[in-house]
Structures are given as structure tokens and as C-alpha cells.
Structure 1
Amino acid sequence: MATFVIEGGHKLSGDITPQGAKNEALQVICAVLLTKDKVTISNIPDIRDVNKLIYILSELGVKIEKIKSDTYTFQADDLNLKYLESEKFKQDGSSLRGSIMIVGPLLARFGKGYIPRPGGDKIGRRRLDTHFEGFIKLGAKFRYNKDEKFYGVEADYLTGTNMLLDEASVTGTANIVMAAVMAKGITTIYNAACEPYLQQLCKMLNSMGAKIRGVGSNLLIIEGVEILSGCSHRILPDMIEIGSWIGMAAMTKSSITIKNVSWDDLGLIPRVFQKIGINLERKGDDIFIPEQDSYEIQNFIDGSILTISDAPWPGFTPDLLSIILVVATQAKGSVLIHQKMFESRLFFVDKLIDMGAKVILCDPHRATVIGMNHESSLKATTMTSPDIRAGISLLIAALSAKGTSTIHNIEQIDRGYQNIDTRLRAIGAKITRIE
């Protein structure tokens, strides 16, 4: 288990470029299974979860070549489908939640897909019903081995249908779309997720020969095709990392420029940070955050306390609520953070309270933050990262705190942030990795 040692209280400065989007990468890399032709994907982040998925595909028989540090070619023309029923796959797949998205393309192309119950963050229940209900509606038969915790779907062929998803699940929508693009007839998916990363997947599939309409809306219409071809695709910058850098600049009273953010794909993110008082400027496709000694939370028009909550796109992403919460601890004013989509993501606030933050955890979904306006700094402490997003939030808190903090279990942070210690040192952070 590796550890970060962080000497807090230092200002940061300079430019930082966001990595490719983790959530998009996990989707589009699975989509290479839909064709026997070569697919080239660039701006792939070098992080644990993505590398683990690439490894699983290589074990499945996908020919993978690393062209540059962030660019790979994939060719799934001679797969070893027996791997899917092996003990090794049960071990490999169970450690990565994103592995669930290989099921849709395998079902579409080969008529079967299997997956062990996937792992991932301990942030509450993230059920798989949406995925498998979609496959069943397309004509697949579902089976589950309770003893081995192993899921499977099989079909001689898939048939287009109308479906209303019970939740706008991003991975569920992605999986169903990848299955439906080769089904016979037309599939309509209502209450589909419409996140930019899902839009990117649909654009990639269309460039491969799929026929998907309604991209960017919650109603997708898919006309099945018999075969898909290869393509080249570039992954968007990671909006969660962009939000992390905004919060880090504010907490450390720093001035930084975040480069090439694909501003038009950020949705509400800049506006929500502005609501808690953070100044940020658009400069071309960059975000410039000037140095601020203080930032003040805006109340609602009627004077009531500001509430920031998560929601499916185009609402505010749940992956940034923990960042907003930590940044609010040093704002002027108060805010209610309402985590609607996951029930365990706010439990990391105990560590912030240990550091001197004024946070009232109302229940598993809500926390009230009373900002200290930088009048009282957070205190250094020793802590453990419970998941990716809480981990980066604790890292931001440590960078702003007086003294030297230690964060254990940083493998969780590495799952979502590429070479984060090296990149932060380049803009002035005092952070050391101890293996």
C-alpha cells in the first residue's frame, strides 16, 4: 500500500493539462470488441482502472499496440471467448467495475457475454439491473450463478425494441447502446443517459457505421446494422479532473491555468464553482483561476442557504460533490451539500472534521458546511483514501492545511488520476510518494 506525504500551506502556480476522461475511456475501449477491424484511440489516461481494462482485453485476445504514451490501436479479430468462463477472468473482472461494459458488445457480436460481479468504489449500491433488463428486452436470456457471483447473457440474435430505462444510468445506457447497434430492427431508448462521455461513445459508434440518432438527448433511436468497421477516436479531457484543479487552486489561494478543457462539454461545472465564490475566466479553451484570498458562497435569491446537489446530466455530476464540499470549508458563508445518487460518499467528512473543518453530517446524503473564510486553516493529519473522489478531496485539504499530512491507500487516487504527484510537483506542490 502506497502513501502520500504532503507538506501543506504552499501556493501553486503555472499550467496543468487534464488527462483524458476516465469514464469515457472505459466505454470506448470496450466498443472495440464490436468490430474485427483496427480501432485507434488517443488521449487515453494512464491510470489503474483503464490499464486494468486494457489488460483484460489483451487476455481476451484483442491485439493491442501502444503507438504513443496516450494512443493505442486495438484489433479484436481473433478472440479467445473461453477466457470469459475461466477462473482467471473471474478474478480479473471482479476487481474493475468498468468491466461490466464488455458484456454489451460481446453479446451483440458473439451472442454471449459473461461477467463476474464487478468491484470498484465503496460508495454505495450501484446496481446492474438496468444493464441486464436492457439486454433481456433485446432478446437475451439472463442467468446468474449465485455461488460464484457470475452473470451471463446469451442470445442467438438480438431484436430491436422500445424500452424505458428505470434510471438514466451512464454505464447501463452505454452497454445497451453497444448491444443494440447490431440488433435486428430499430431500438428506442427513453430516459437514456446523455453525458458528454456517452455522446462521445455514440459519435464513435456512428463513425464505425452504426446508425444512432438523438445523440445528446435522453431519447436514442438506434437502427441496427450487420457489421461495424474500424475508426479513429480521441477522448475528451476529464471534467472531474478539471473540477479538481479548480478546487485545488481556490483552497491553496493559487493562480493556475487549466489547459484545453473542452469548455463547451463542461456543462454546469464552471457555474457551480462560481456559486461558491470562485473566480474563473475563459481564455480560449483554457480556464484561468486567479489568486483569491477569499471567496463567498452565494445564497439563493430569497436569502436561504445555497444547496448544491447532484443529478444525471445535464445536472451537476456526483463525482465533484466531494470537491465542492472540501472547497466550501474555507469559503465565506454556508452551503448544504446533498448527495442524492450514492448513500456513502459523504462519510469521508469525518477526516475533514478532524482537520478542523466545520461540517455537520446530517445523514448519509446531506452535509452542511460552515465556511471558515481562511481565517482558521485546516490542520495536518493522517488519513486513508476510501475511494477515488474522496481521496482527491482529502489531498486538496492536505495541500491547504498547515503542517505535514499523510494519506494512505493512494492506490484509490491512482485509479482515477494519472501521475498526480508528478504533475502537482510541477506546479509547486510539496508532495512525496512512498511505496
Structure 2
Amino acid sequence: MGTFKIEGGHQLKGEIQPQGAKNEALQILCAVLLTPEVVTINNIPDIIDVNKLISLLKNLGVKVKHLSSGSYSFQADDINLDYLKSANFKEEGRGLRGSIMIVGPLLARFGKGYIPKPGGDKIGRRRLDTHFEGFINLGAKFRYNPEEYFYGVEADKLKGTDMLLDEASVTGTANIVMAAVLAEGTTTIYNAACEPYLQQLCKMLNRMGAKISGVGSNLLTIEGVDVLGGTAHRMLPDMIEIGSWIGLAAMTKSELTIKNVSWDDLGQIPNVFAKLGITLERKGDDIYIPEHKDGYEIQNYIDGSILTIADAPWPGFTPDLLSIVLVVATQAKGEVLVHQKMFESRLFFVDKLIDMGAKIILCDPHRATVIGHDFKSQLKATTMVSPDIRAGISLLIAALSAKGTSTIHNIEQIDRGYEHIVERLKKIGAKIERLDGN
């Protein structure tokens, strides 16, 4: 188990380039299974979760070529479906939640798709019903082996249909869209997710020959086609990483420029951080964050009541940044209620921030009230364990702002979502070392 050693309390300065979007990559990479032709993808982040998926695709028979940093070509013209029944696949697929999205493309193109119960962050229940109900609506037969936690869907030919999703699941929508593009007839998906990464997937599929309309809305219409062709695609910058660096700049009172952020795809993110009192300036397609010498003050509502920041389906605020908001609020002037609606275990890392001196009241599994220190009392260094990707980066930000030297164990969780983080943080002045686990 690896460890970070962090000497906190130092101001940072400079520019940082966000990586390609992790959550987009997991969808886009699965979509290469829909065609026997070459698909070239650029700006792929070099992180554990994405590399695991690329390895899984190789084992399935996809020809993968590393073209340059962040750029790969994929050709799925000789897929080994027998691999899906192997013990190796059951082990490999279980280690990555994004592996669920290979099922839709495999079902659409080959008439069968299997997956072991996927892993990922331990942040609460993350059910798969939306995915499989969508496949069943398209005409697939579902089966489940409870002894091995193994799911399967099969169909001779998928048939287009109308469906209303029980939740606006991003991965569920992506999986169903990838199945429907090769189905016979027209499919409409109401209450579809409309996140920028889902829009990216739909635009890429349309370049491959799919006929998807309503992209960017919660009503998608998909006219099935017989075959899809190759294409080239460039992924967006990772909005979660961008939000992480905004929080880092504020907490360490640092002057930072976040480069090439694709402002138009950030949605509520700049507004939410502005409500926390953080100054953000748009400079072209960059975000400039000046040094917050006098700290930052949380806005109340117009009637004076305490601000609530809650997650919601896009264009609402992404749940992946609530952990960052929470840690940033610990040094703000004022109070905020953080309401994590989607996952009931995601706020449980606050005990580690309380150990560092933060004033946080965990109201219930979904809500926490943060009373900011206004930098009058610096967080204190401590030893921590990263429970998941987003809590891990939040604890890292807290450690970089804290007085003294902190250690964070289980940093593989952070590596799952953040590319070359030590090297990139060192370039802007962070005092951080990676200690290899035994």
C-alpha cells in the first residue's frame, strides 16, 4: 500500500494542465467495441482505472496501439468472446466499475454481454438496475448467477423501443445508448443523463454513423443502423480535476492558472465555487485564481439563511466535487450545509478532517454542516487513509494546507483518478513525496 508524505502550509504558484476526463474515457473506450474499424482516441488520462480498462479490452482481442502520450488507436475486428467466460475476466472485470459499460456494445454487436459485479469506490449503493432494465426493454434476456455475482444479457437482435429511465444514470444512459445504436428500429430514452461526457459519447457515435438526436437534452432519439465505422475523438479535460485544483488554490492561498478547461462544459462548477467566496477569472479558456490573501467568505441566501450546496443530475452540480467543496469550506468565513443526495457513504471521511481540527457536524449519512475557520486556525497535520478517489484528493488538499507533515495511506485510490499527481503538484511548488508500500 503506497503512501504520500506531505509537508503542508506552503503557497503554490504556476500553471497546471488538467488531464483528460476519467469518466468520459470509461465510456469512450467501451464504444470502440461497436465497430471493426480503427478508432483513434486522444487525451486519454494515464490513470489506474483507465489503464485497467485498456488491459481488459486487449484481453478481449482489441488491437491497441500506443501512438503518443495520451493517444491510442483501437481496432475490435477480432473479438474473443470466450474470454468473457474465463476466470481471468471474472477477476479483471470485478476490479473496475467502468467495466459494466462493455456490456451494451457487446450485446449490440455480438448478441451477448457478460460482466461480474463490478467494484470501484466504496461510497454507498450503486445499483445496476437501470443498465439491465434498459437492455431488457430492447429485447435482451437477463440472467444472473448469485453464487459468482455474474450478470449476463443475450439477444438475437435488439429492437428499438420507448423507455423511461428510473434514474438519470450517466453510465446507464451510456450503456443503453451504445446498445440502441445497432438495434432494429427507433429507440427513445426519456430521463436520459445529459452530462458533457455523455454528449461527447453521442457525438462520437454520430461520427461513426449512428443517428442520435436530442444530444444535450434528457430525451434522446436513436434510429438504429446496421454498422458503425471508425473515427477519431479527443476527450474533454476532466471537470472533477479542474474543481479539485480550484479548491487547492483557495485552501493554500495560491495564485494558480488552470489551463484549457473547456469553460463551456463546466456547467455550475464556477458558480458554486464563487458562492464559497472564491475568485475565478476567465482568461480565454483558462481559469485564473488569484492569491486569496484575506481568505474567502461563503455567501448566504438572500434571506440570510445558510447556503446549501447539493448534488443533482446535470446541469446540476456534480456529486464528485462535493468532497472538495466540503474541505474548502473548512477554512472559509461562514457556514455551509453540504447535502450529498446520491451516495450515503461519501461523507464518512469527515472524521479525518475533524481530527485535523475542522469544525464539521455530520448531520446524517447524506448531510454535513461545515463551520469555517476563516484561516484563523490552521488545520493540523495527521496520518490518514484514503477511502475513495474523491475523498482522497480532498484529504490531500487538506494536508497541503495544514500545518506540519501529513501522511496519506492507500494512495492507489487517488492514483485511480489523478494522473502523475506528485510530479504535477511539485511543479507548482507542493512539498509531496511518494513512499512505496511494502
The TM tier, using the shorter chain, reads over 0.9
Does the alignment pair 1:34 with 2:31? no
Q: Deviations over 1:297-353 (max 9, x none)?
A: 000000000000000100000000000000000000000000001000000000000
2:193 alignment partner AA: A
Q: Shift in Å at residue 69 of structure 1?
A: 1.2
Letter in 1 for 2:317: F
How many Å apart are 1:268 and its aligned residue?
A: 0.2
2:22 pairs with 1:6: no
Q: Percent identity?
A: 80
Which 4+ stretches in 1 moved above 3 angstroms? none
Displacement after TM superposition at 1:142 (Å): 0.2
Does residue 274 in structure 1 map to residue 305 in structure 2?
no
Secondary structure of residue in 2 paired with 1:288 = strand
Please show how residues 131-146 of structure 1 align to structure 2 within 5 Å.
Answer: 131-146=131-146
Query: Which amino acid is 1:48 matched to?
Result: I
One-letter code aligned to 2:433: T
Q: CA deviation at 1:85?
A: 0.7
Corresponding position of 1:147: 147
Partner SS, residue 32 of structure 2: helix
2:399 is matched with 398
1:336 aligns with 2:337: yes
SS in 2 for 1:225: coil
SS for the counterpart of 1:100 is helix
Equivalent position amino acid for 2:202 in 1: C
Q: Does 1:357 align with 2:355?
A: no
- 2:374 aligns to what? 373
SS at match of 2:88: helix
TM alignment of 1:146-185, pairs within 5 A: 146-185=146-185
Distance 2:74 2:125 in 1: 32
Q: Where does structure 2 lack aligned partners over 5 or more consecutive residues?
A: none
**1:5 Cα deviation (Å)?**
0.1
User: How far, CA to CA, are the matches of 1:87 and 1:352 in structure 2?
Assistant: 41
Counterpart of 2:73 in 1: which secondary structure? strand
Cα distance between partner residues in 1 of 2:254 and 2:206: 42
Give 1:93-112 correspondences, 5 Å limit.
Answer: 93-112=93-112
Q: Which string of whole-angstrom CA distances, capped at 9 and with x for unpartnered residues, describes residues 344-400 of structure 1? A: 000000000000000000000000000000000000000000000000000000000
Aligned equivalent of 1:326: 327
Query: Aligned ranges for residues 61-72 of structure 1 at < 5 Å?
Result: 61-72=61-72
Counterpart in 2 of 1:193? Answer: 193
Amino acid at match of 1:287: I
Q: Offset of 1:413 from its aligned partner?
A: 0.1
Mapped partners of 1:304, 1:372: distance in 2: 19
Paired letter, 1:244 = S
Counterpart residue number, 1:221: 221
Structure-2 residue corresponding to 1:251? 251
* One-letter amino acid of the structure 1 residue matched with residue 86 of structure 2: S
Distance 1:308 1:23 in 2: 22
Residue type of the alignment partner of 1:50: V
Residue type matched to 1:257 in 2?
Answer: T
Match of 2:239? 239
What residue in structure 2 maps to residue 296 of structure 1? 297
Inter-partner Cα distance in structure 2 for 1:194 and 1:202: 10
Task: State how far apart, in whole Å, the 2-side matches of 1:155 and 1:342 are.
Answer: 33
Residue identity in the other structure for 2:334 = G
1:373 maps to a residue whose letter is: D
Aligned equivalents of 2:85 and 2:223: distance in 1?
31
Tell me the equivalent position of 2:58: 58
Specify the SS of the correspondent of 1:308.
strand
CA–CA distance in 1 between the matches of 2:322 and 2:158? Answer: 39
Q: Secondary structure at the match of 1:390?
A: helix
The aligned amino acid for 2:353 is: L
What is the distance in 1 between the residues matched to 2:371 and 2:145? 48
Amino acid at match of 1:177: V
What secondary structure does 2:272 align onto? Answer: helix
In structure 2, the partner of 1:49 is 49
Q: Which amino acid aligns with 2:77?
A: D
Structure 1 distance, partners of 2:125, 2:204, is 30
C-alpha distance in 1 between matches for 2:148 and 2:341: 32
Q: Show the counterpart of 2:412.
A: 411
One-letter code aligned to 2:392: G
Query: Which residue number corresponds to residue 383 of structure 1?
Result: 384
Gaps of 5+ in 1: none
- 1:116-159 alpha-carbon deviations (Å, 9 max, x no partner): 00000000001000000000000000000010110000000000
- Provide the C-alpha distance between the structure 2 equivalents of 1:55 and 1:42, rounded to a whole number of angstroms: 17
Partner amino acid, structure 2, of 1:343: E
Give the letter aligned to residue 319 of structure 1. D
Where 1:45 maps in the other structure, the secondary structure is coil
CA–CA distance in structure 1, aligned partners of residues 262 and 85 of structure 2: 40
**Aligned-CA RMSD value:** 0.3
Distance (whole Å) between structure 2 residues aligned to residue 126 and residue 201 of structure 1: 22
The reply on whether 1:306 has 2:307 as its aligned counterpart is yes
Q: Which residue in the other structure is 2:114 paired with?
A: 114
Alignment of 1:425 with 2:426, yes or no, is yes
